[in-house]
Structure 1
Amino acid sequence: MPGMKRLALLPLLALAACANPPPKVAEVPSSGATLAREAARIVPERRFASVDYLIVDKSERLMIGYAGGQPVKAWRGLQFGDAPQGHKQFEGDERTPEGRYVIEGRNPGSAYHLSLKVSYPAPADRAFAESLGRSPGGDIFLHGQPNALPFGRIPGDWTDGCIAFSNAEIEELWRIVPDGTVIEIRP
């Protein structure tokens, strides 16, 4: 009897094999791949109107934007929280989160030259902090330099956990990163 059940499934498997393939998902490098190698793949002439995926590598201080699975733009020299190593766990730890989040909004009236909100804390971040009776914090953004800064860049890591860019870079990100874009932040 068990063999007959298998034979009955054969026509269904044949039909499934003829079905349309699933839509192609944008391919981004695995966590083992270095973003520096990905940055080398960027073709400067490649045209794109927006990106659909961002990967930040904190150790390389590098972010790459992807469009349709292809690396299209790199930003270097990123600035992080005052304590850049390790995943953000609690309010006030001045760490930049690690993990997969989403750009969930924008603030044109930011105290920093434009800002894009990151969806930190995720439910797991919140649960971990609350299990220890702490707040996970929040208000993590990609943003420019402080509005009070007349020009240039503050040197070093200086945010409370955000990712800072030059004002020109955040203006570009403002234009090409739609709300809902996935941002993966790696150690």
Structure 2
Amino acid sequence: MRIGNIFLLVLLVLPFHGLASSALSLHADKVLVDKSHKRLYLIRGGEVLRDYPIVLGKNPVGHKERAGDGKTPEGEYTLDWRNPDSKFYRSIHISYPNERDMQKAQERQQDPGDLIMIHGSPAWVPSVQWAKQWLHREDWTDGCIAVTNDIMDEIWNLVPDGTPIVIRP
């Protein structure tokens, strides 16, 4: 009888074996942003895990060149640190400016800007659904990539620090 119970237990547990490890393996190994289509893709092993709508800097066309230009950078960067207490809910830092950006800004004798993030909604936005939807219709950031707070929670959980991000025009 005891062996029968153990056998039954094994049969019940076996289908769930590995679920925890497979959930952990869902972390993205790359983030791709397509500015022209206003989409952010989480990628693992060349396959899209998730894709999300985004809003960009208030002047979204073209590569960020200087502080205050309202543009979202284009190029290859790293998601290198995060802020759980951001005034925009949560935020993950994009390593802009990179060396190329710094060199070009220096040639123009301009400040390239910094603190470009993927972030959620500003704290001042009411929690009502219509306000959140309104906020995510038009490009409004200073160069960051904004998503809704529920999307930010998913990105936060699926993208570890050190993940490369490619931002395409």
TM-score range, shorter chain: 0.7 to 0.9
Q: 2:29 corresponds to which letter in structure 1?
A: D
Deviation, 1:145, is 0.5
Aligned-partner Cα distance in 1 for 2:41–2:80: 18
Aligned equivalent of 1:122, options 98, 116, 119: 98
SS in 1 for 2:103: helix
How far apart, CA to CA, are the structure 2 residues paired with 1:147 and 1:55?
Answer: 26
Cα distance in 1 for partners of 2:108, 2:46 equals: 39
Report how many residues are paired: 141
Residues 64-79 of structure 1: pairs in structure 2 closer than 5 A: 64-76=41-53, 78-79=54-55
For residues 119 and 46 of structure 2, the distance between their equivalents in structure 1, rounded to whole angstroms, comes to 25
Q: How far apart in 2 are the matches of 1:80 and 1:181?
A: 20
Task: Output aligned runs, 1:89-128, within 5 Å.
Answer: 89-128=65-104
Structure 2 letter corresponding to 1:162 = C
The match for 1:135 among 111, 118, 121 is 111
Structure 1 residue 162: deviation in Å?
Answer: 0.1
Output the amino acid matched with 2:143: G
User: How large is the Cα RMSD of the aligned pairs?
Assistant: 1.3
Q: Who is 1:62 aligned against?
A: 39
Cα distance, 1:57 vs structure 2: 0.4
For residues 55 and 46 of structure 2, the distance between their equivalents in structure 1, rounded to whole angstroms, comes to 25
TM-score, normalised with respect to structure 2? 0.80
Deviation at 1:108, TM superposition (A): 0.8
Moved over 4 A (4+): none
Aligned to 1:31: none
| Structure 2 portions without partners, runs of 5+ | 1-21
Ranges in structure 1 where 5+ consecutive residues have no aligned partner? 1-45
The alpha carbon displacement at 1:131 in A equals: 1.1
Question: 2:99 and 2:61 mapped to 1: Cα distance?
Answer: 22
Task: Give matches, 1:39-58, under 5 Å.
Answer: 48-58=25-35
Determine the structure 2 residue equivalent to 1:158: 140
Give the whole-Å Cα distance in 2 for the aligned partners of 1:170 and 1:91. Answer: 25
User: CA–CA distance in 2 between the matches of 1:135 and 1:94?
Assistant: 13
Structure 2 residue matching 1:174: 3-state secondary structure: helix
Q: Relative to structure 2, which stretch is displaced further, 123-132 or 148-157?
A: 148-157
How far off is 1:49 after superposition? 2.4
Q: 1:167 aligns with which of 146, 149, 159?
A: 149
Aligned partners of 2:111, 2:97: CA distance in 1, in Å?
10
TM-score, scaled to structure 1: 0.73
The residue number in structure 2 matching 1:184 is 166
Say which of 73, 85, 96 aligns to 2:61. 85
Identical amino acids, percent of aligned pairs: 40
